[in-house]
Amino acid sequence: MAESPDGVPTATHANHRTVTIDPVTRIEGHAKISIHLDGTGAVETARFHVVEFRGFERFCEGRPFPEMAAITARICGICPVSHLLAAAKTGDKLLAVTIPPTAEKLRRLMNLAQIIQSHALSFFHLSSPDFLLGWDSGPAKRNLFGLMAADPDLARSGIRLRQFGQSVIEVLGGRKIHPAWVVPGGVRSPLSPAGRDQLLAGLPEAFAIAQRGLALFKQLLDTKLAEELEVFGNFPSLFMGLVGADGHWEHYGTPDGGSAAGGLRIMASDGSLVADGLREDDYASFIAEAVEPWSYLKFPYITALGPMAGRYRVGPLARLNICKSIGTERSDRELLELRQRGGPVVTASFLYHLARLIEILACLEQMEELLASPEICDAHVRVRASLKAHEAVGVSEAPRGTLFHHYRVDGDGLIEKVNLIIATGQNNSAMNRTITQIARHYLSNGNLSEALLNRVEAGIRCFDPCLSCSTHAAGQMPLQVQLIGADGGLLQERFRG
């Protein structure tokens, strides 16, 4: 039988049943999960369907390339900075400029803040209800309000960390979301000494919250969450992301876009390097995208290895797997502990949560170093130039993984073609494999318990997918569970919410 990139058979047998969970709760965007059962009631496959078509790439055509940062930042209200940076870096290349050193430091500061606030939302508010309230707790309680009742201090701490990340973005860019401050050629304005002092003042509390989150989650892993490490998406795969010079943890990219000083690295689960020093400009030569009829989200893979062996993961866990070290003291201690817990290359997707907390700590440490830099308030933060190139690729590490922007422009700098490869898309295969593994493990006697459905949803949340909430006006949808026979008939339907 043929296999799709999600690693499951594509043919449909007689006597199969399909369970559909629609939509998945507490992730970004619209999606559903279907669990396909065979005639014996065992799980054949599970699929993560993305049913919303975004259409931003087509929308960008004809716009001046300097506007791309502001436009693409509106793809998402949660992680706009990632698109800002990738767009601006692509613009730097179209202008053929090297931005001032202080501008790069400031861009890095903003990306660190973005990662902190996004990871804080994922861990403290979206996923911690699962950990603290238990899988058998119904969705009516296993949510933010349940967390608020069980541990209000943790809920407030998560908000404080998010506020800190957003305050950094606001101090730098003047606005919490969509700051048009990052531009091709650098940034619009320098950081004032007063702004620097304000950011420094917020660091001690942010460090304390991050450390508390780490202590709490490690304790849970040691006690009640041990099984999840084995079952929530634990499988071999490739891992891809940026590394810096000397193989250190990297989130922004190297000035020359790869090659000798860092660049993109692909590592296998056994620790072997599949590729290193890959240049972002060449991404189309090593990444291909498969398409499935049941999802708008594509299935990227490493071209040379094909759609199956070439499946890879990106994001916090991938970044920590591929790097030699983080380069700062406290987070390197945590990285060592992560590797002691999960192996030299961690394959358990459940540890994405721990990786997020470690990255929060790493971001805070790097932020502290950047703010201590003597030139961080330097006034020279932008260079101006005219269009020099007609095609460019920019990359940055978004909270959820590597983000590619690829533009082709005409002689007037108007966009002719855009290709965006987003992190969530690159984790698509891994998400499908994860929910299949969970469903196979927890389904017994064809009993579709709430606890099973809760775990399947939580498997997706390991990756904190961002499917783009490009409009909030779609309305609130209840959770829908469908049981569909092999002939397409609806056998059973359940709703939540």
Partner 1 sequence: MKPIPGMKRVARIKPLLLIGYGNPLRQDDGLGWHIAMAIEALDLPGLQVLAAQQLTLELAAPMALAEAVVFVDAAYGKDAANGSAQAIEPLALKPLHHNPQAPDPGPQTFSHQLTPQALLLLAGKLYGHQPAALQLLVPAQWHGHGEGFSPCAATALPTAMALLVGWAGGESRRA
Contact residues for partner 1, defined by CB under 8 A: 23, 25-29, 55-56, 59, 71, 74, 76-78, 121, 125-126, 139-140, 142-145, 148-149, 152-153, 155-156, 159, 162-163, 166, 177-178, 469-473, 476-479, 496-497
Least Å distance, CB 372 to partner 1, is 26
Of residues 72 and 237, the one with the C-beta less far from partner 1:
72
| Residue 31 three-state SS | strand
The angle subtended at Cα 438 by Cα 40 and Cα 221, nearest 5°, is: 150
Of residues 256 and 450, the one with the C-beta less far from partner 1:
450
Least Å distance, CB 363 to partner 1, is 18
Least Å distance, CB 333 to partner 1, is 27
Of residues 58 and 324, the one with the C-beta less far from partner 1:
58
Of residues 152 and 344, the one with the C-beta less far from partner 1:
152
Least Å distance, CB 437 to partner 1, is 24
Least Å distance, CB 205 to partner 1, is 10
Least Å distance, CB 394 to partner 1, is 20
Of residues 27 and 421, the one with the C-beta less far from partner 1:
27
Least Å distance, CB 174 to partner 1, is 12
Q: Are strands 238-243 and 312-313 parallel, antiparallel or unpaired?
A: parallel
CB 181 within 8 A of CB 173: yes
Matching residue, tokens 């304390």: 208
Helices 152-173 and 193-222: crossing angle, nearest 10°?
A: 150
CB 359 within 8 A of CB 316: yes
Beta-carbon neighbour count of residue 162 at 10 Å?
Answer: 18
d(CA 252, CA 273): 21
CB 451 within 8 A of CB 466: no
d(CA 128, CA 146): 10
Beta-ladder partners of 382: 186
**Sequence letter at residue 390:** H
Least Å distance, CB 434 to partner 1, is 19
**Residue 402 half-sphere exposure toward CB, CA atoms < 13 A:** 29
Query: Which element (helix H / strand E) includes 20?
Result: strand 17-22
Sheet with strand 263-267: strands edge to edge: 273-278, 263-267, 238-243, 312-313
Of residues 147 and 221, the one with the C-beta less far from partner 1:
147
Least Å distance, CB 73 to partner 1, is 10
Of residues 71 and 290, the one with the C-beta less far from partner 1:
71
Residues recorded for the chain: 497
Of residues 99 and 458, the one with the C-beta less far from partner 1:
458
Least Å distance, CB 175 to partner 1, is 8
Of residues 189 and 480, the one with the C-beta less far from partner 1:
480
User: To the nearest 10°, the Cα dihedral for 216, 218, 220, 221?
Assistant: 160
**Which residue, 114, 108, 147, 107, is CA-closest to 131?**
147
Of residues 194 and 208, the one with the C-beta less far from partner 1:
208
**Which residue, 99, 95, 29, is CA-closest to 68?**
95
Of residues 114 and 347, the one with the C-beta less far from partner 1:
114
Beta-carbon neighbour count of residue 400 at 10 Å?
Answer: 29
**Which residue, 69, 60, 61, is CA-closest to 92?**
69
Least Å distance, CB 97 to partner 1, is 27
Task: Please state the φ and ψ torsions of residue 485, each to the nearest 5 degrees.
Answer: -75, 170
Q: List alpha helices for 233-386, DSSP H.
A: 283-286, 306-309, 316-322, 329-342, 352-372
Enter the DSSP assignment of 435.
H
